[in-house]
Amino acid sequence: MEPADLIIIAGGNGTLQEVITGLLRRTDEDVFSKIPIGFIPLGTTNTLSHTLFPPCDNKVKLISDSTLDILRGETITLDVMQIKGETEQPVFSLTDLRWGSYRDAATKISKYWYLGPLKTKAAHLFSTLKEWPQVHHGSLTYLGPTVRPLDETIDKPPRPPLHTRILQRLYQYWAPVKKENVEVDVEPWQEMTFSGLEFSITTKNSHPDLMRTEDSLTICIEPNTISKLDFTSLGSAKVKDPSVFPQDAICLQASQCRFQVPEENPGFFSIDSEEYEAMPVDVLLLPRKLHFFCNSTIKQELLQGSLQGAPNHRGIFINQI
């Protein structure tokens, strides 16, 4: 497969994840990851469209506008999350990994289609009748955020003149080499065990900060002390915006982590809204990995929001890095 000028993906979360995973599993992924990607939202769930394009209730207009934005050529870089099991090939995600009660209840919404607009609340309410509180136990090791490197597009300093380079090489040849012992600070891995209602790992792509100086994923552990009524209300809100979480949730910033689930009845993950069997996984952030076409107005708003220090998430963060 020869490199292309651009890649266009028409579909939803599932189609987008399959294409991205296929591209990044290639041996020449470093070449294909530099090709700009156009996303046309045609699926049932189109999480990334909220980042790339202005909100629009008219699906036909959204499709046509996203196509025009591809032709205009404005792009932004987005992070990718690599998720790898012990024996499986890695899966690549643009949004999130979720494991817990909210995820489980959301998969049952379609069963209550006959309730119309009440189906979402019904799915969450009925899920509390089987067992409450619903506790999920796991363990986590993680590393903190990494410093964001300089943008590759920044101009390099001009090359010195020829006579200067010759003098530098002569000096390096004749001058004695001084060996210095440089101590490199290695950040220790943090370890913790937890029990909660839901565990999630999300990228910053839903609210990207184009000027941030650190790269990280957000790990969120939601407490199991919530009432059934609050679970139903919050679960319904999460269907529209998964970044919503309760005030007492524990949130960590990490560049990579290893997540362990119980061996018996581990349940299922949702990765970009697609279901996978839960298992121990290593998660690694690939910052600014892919280039996506976007609306020019959206890009300007992101740049202005970054300069003004706009918040990226809702709720209170307990930073334990």
Looking at every residue in the chain, the average pLDDT score rounds to 85
Q: What angle do CA 316, 271, 139 make, to 5 degrees?
A: 60
The answer to whether residue 109 scores a pLDDT higher than 80 is yes
Provide mean pLDDT across the span 280-302.
Answer: 92
Residues ≥6 apart with Cβ < 8 Å to 213 = 147, 148
Q: Give pLDDT, residue 310.
A: 47
Looking at the whole model, is its pTM more than 0.85?
no
CA-to-CA dists, residue 114 to 2, 117, 123, 146, 294, angstroms: 49, 9, 12, 48, 37
One-character DSSP codes across 243-278: T---TT-EEEEESEEEEE--SSS--EEEETTEEEE-
What is the CATH T-level fold of the domain 82-148+187-285, as seen in this structure? Tumour Suppressor Smad4 (2.60.200)
Provide mean pLDDT across the span 150-158.
Answer: 53
| Residue ranges per structural domain of the chain | 82-148+187-285
Determine which helix (DSSP H) or strand (DSSP E) holds 136, and give its type and residue range. strand 136-143
CA atoms of 249 and 246, how far apart (whole Å): 6
Provide mean pLDDT across the span 199-221.
Answer: 90
CA atoms of 204 and 65, how far apart (whole Å): 24
The answer to whether residue 314 scores a pLDDT higher than 50 is no
Provide mean pLDDT across the span 146-159.
Answer: 63
